[in-house]
Amino acid sequence: MESSTFHSFNLPKFRINPIKSANYNTKRLLKVCSEATKPNVIADTSQAQKTYSIEFKTLEGCKLGIWRYPIFEYNAKGGSGNGIGRETNGGIDVDFDVKKLYIPSLNGQTTRFLGLPLPPFLKIDIVPEILRGNIDKGTGKVDLRFKSRFWFSVGSIYKAPPLLVETVLTSEQSTGAIRSGVGERMNTGGKCKLVGVAVVDPINDAFMNTFLRLPTECIAYLNAVISISQANC
């Protein structure tokens, strides 16, 4: 049996030197990182968006019309609402709080038709859902998107489903297929006349659909005063 032969090798010797810690200035690094992560905020109050308080009041001498019926004379005095305005390149964008916006009902005290007051048992409540848009203080131009439900009732014996009315109340011209009107821009006192034509769709009530000739158009002339003041910060 042959004996195993082991050969010896001269292996090179390796030396592993310990890594010297880098001479970093820890405090300086923390300072640099802290400065780099700070938001770049520039306090420039001249560029801050201005905010305004807007007050809206409706007046007497308003008019309402539907289909080709004669115009209703409507005294909306006492209506009011408040909103917030924010300055933009195109004027002031306004949004009114519809929960606190009040527009008087059409009834025997506020409305006349063919020179006579509405019967005391007939009433149309106006429940606003949206009133927002743009006001240009420089020119007096007003455009307000208006969405509301009109609830027609006769005493306690009849209440129709609401009529949904959506239009733009404008100080300019509003034109439909059978109705049209022209408003008036705000004067220096904030007084203006807003006009809006809207399409009224049929509702789930055969009597109202027939009586009002639905679907049809309606028109509103609304005299109002709009007051604008800079909000307190």
- The H-or-E segment that residue 36 falls in is helix 26-36
Cα–Cα dist 83/205, whole Å: 35
The 10s digit of each residue's pLDDT in 100-123 is 999 999 999 999 999 999 998 999
| Amino acid 212: pLDDT | 95
What is the 3 state secondary structure string of 37-103? Answer: CCCCCCCCHHHCCCEEEEEEEECCCEEEEECCCCCEEECCCCCEEEEEEEEECCEEEEEECCCCCEC
Query: Would you give the DSSP letter of residue 121?
Result: T
pTM: 0.78
- DSSP 3-state assignment of 227? strand
Query: Would you give the DSSP letter of residue 208?
Result: H
Mean pLDDT of all residues in 30-38 = 45
The 10s digit of each residue's pLDDT in 148-196 is 999 999 999 999 999 999 999 999 999 999 999 999 999 999 999 999 9
The 10s digit of each residue's pLDDT in 41-84 is 444 444 567 899 999 999 999 999 999 999 999 999 999 999 99
| Amino acid 31: pLDDT | 47
CB 163 within 8 A of CB 203: yes
Does 215 sit behind a cis peptide bond, omega within 30 degrees of 0 on the bond before it? yes
